[in-house]
Amino acid sequence: MLLKWFERNGISATLCNGILSAQEKLSEPEPFDIVLSDLRLPDGDGIMLLSWLKEKNKSIPFIIMTGYGEIQTAVSAIKLGAFDFLEKPINPSVLTQKIESAFESVKAEKNIGSKSAESTKIKESSQRIKLNDSGLKIVEGKSILSKQMYSYIDLVAPTQMSVMIVGESGTGKEHVARMIHERSTRDKAPFIAVDCGSLSTELAPSELFGHKKGSFTSAIEDKTGFFRDANGGTLFLDEVGNLPYGVQMQMLRSLQEKKIRSIGTSIDIDVDVRIITATNENLELAISEGKFREDLYHRLNEFKIRVPSLRESVEDIQLYADHFREEANIELDKNVKSITREAMERLEHYDWPGNLRELRNVIRRSVLFSLSDEISTENLPVLNKSTREIDYVSDIMLFPKPENEKEKIINALKKTNGNKTKAAILLNIDRKTLYNKIHLYNIEL
């Protein structure tokens, strides 16, 4: 699949079935600009190939591919000299970005005025990827809410502030977190993503802070923990509202003192980690119910970014749909070139409760079922009618005089101390409509 992807983008690639065949190819006079290696290989692993390159003094950017649960090994590979790691299944957009970063790193190490053939080759390869307009690079929405979100990302990324990303499920909160990391001064250091929902009360301290061999029954070897793995970089805590309450105090101490203590030790270890969190829950409600510490919430919420839902940014649907169509073409070896106007209208009039994740699945399925070079309404699954028209009527009934809308919203927010959920109930509208009105009138919260 990757070989076909490279060929489609005009990049010459060589496929090897193991370490020995890779060593043979890398020993040939013809130079390679980058090595993309799986962690697990039939005759060894990618780290062995990386070590061999170092022994041969071959300074070729090395990107290692890992499966779920192998992130710590990938971090070890980076410490041994790998340029970066890539999680499977491979996302073409992420792959493109990492290759570009590798090329830029190589060029930065060379004399800018160099006119060598190798530098020229690297530059041309990089340009081919950057000039590809088929959606194989990062896609940014063009709606008002999306542009506002990207402006916030650019604003906070260079700082060291903790960022909380809020948004509905499937809106791409982890993607936003990666953008913040990649636009920060920590972009060359690790980005470690953790699903807090998978951390049990018993294992969370070990997973986050590490442990010493023998400190408890299943501790059969030393473990560094996510904080140390992300040292110098970014630790992304997804669905932070699921973090066990008993661990929240330890988390707060680590953030305040920038120190951690592994289980089974009495020594504090200095860590330099930027925290980015994400949630689709109402953490203020969790605080009032005693499920989340208020002091930790304020420590994590130094800067908040809201990711808009698809139904709030309808004008972005075509952009994302074309992007997912190109991804599906590569994954499924298809050549679907467009989406008919009728099919696009159906996509734009659906509410997308699953947001980008649901849109991606719909487009992948439609590409698979398409027998021509376009997606038509016949290829789309059944999509329920949008309720957007009902919301619009509700707005008209609630706000018969548009000139009073802004004043009513401001008064409702004041009465509820800025609680948008309660304000929406007070105004007898849903939360989504209230968000739209807040952005429409540029109301400061």
Domain spans of the chain? 2-130, 144-306, 313-379, 390-440
Name the pLDDT band for 337 (thresholds 50, 70, 90): very high
Q: How far is CA 80 from the centre of its chain?
A: 25
**Same CATH fold assignment for domains 2-130 and 313-379:** no
Task: Report the pLDDT averaged over residues 336-341.
Answer: 93
| pLDDT, tens only, 38-94 | 888 887 778 888 888 888 888 888 888 877 555 666 666 776 778 887 777 777 777
Candidates 71, 83, 66, 89; CA nearest to 226 is 71
- Output DSSP code: residue 374: E
- Average pLDDT of the chain? 80
Whole-number Å distance between alpha carbons of 234 and 194: 11
Candidates 137, 258, 267, 251; CA nearest to 211 is 267
Share of the chain above pLDDT 70, in %: 83
Where is pLDDT greater, at 152 or 412? 152
10 Å CB burial of residue 253 (0-12, 13-18, 19+) is middle
Establish how many alpha carbons lie within 13 A of residue 110's alpha carbon, considering only the half-sphere containing its beta carbon.
Answer: 18
pLDDT on residue 70: 59
Where is pLDDT greater, at 243 or 404? 243
Q: What is the CATH number of domain 390-440?
A: 1.10.10
Whole-number Å distance between alpha carbons of 272 and 160: 10
Where is pLDDT greater, at 51 or 396? 51
Whole-number Å distance between alpha carbons of 374 and 392: 32
| pLDDT, tens only, 95-112 | 887 888 777 777 666 544
Give me the architecture of the 313-379 domain, per CATH. Orthogonal Bundle (1.10)
Residue showing tokens 């988390």: 251
Whole-number Å distance between alpha carbons of 314 and 230: 36
8 Å CB contact between 104 and 112: no
Where is pLDDT greater, at 103 or 162? 162
Instruction: Give the best-scoring range by mean pLDDT among 205-219, 232-246, 393-407.
Output: 232-246
8 Å CB contact between 389 and 422: no
Q: Please say if the pLDDT value at position 314 is more than 50.
A: yes
Candidates 239, 125, 265, 80; CA nearest to 173 is 239
Give me the architecture of the 2-130 domain, per CATH. 3-Layer(aba) Sandwich (3.40)
Whole-number Å distance between alpha carbons of 110 and 100: 16
- Output DSSP code: residue 315: G
SS3 category, 40: strand
Name the pLDDT band for 411 (thresholds 50, 70, 90): confident
Give me the architecture of the 144-306 domain, per CATH. 3-Layer(aba) Sandwich (3.40)
Where is pLDDT greater, at 139 or 157? 157
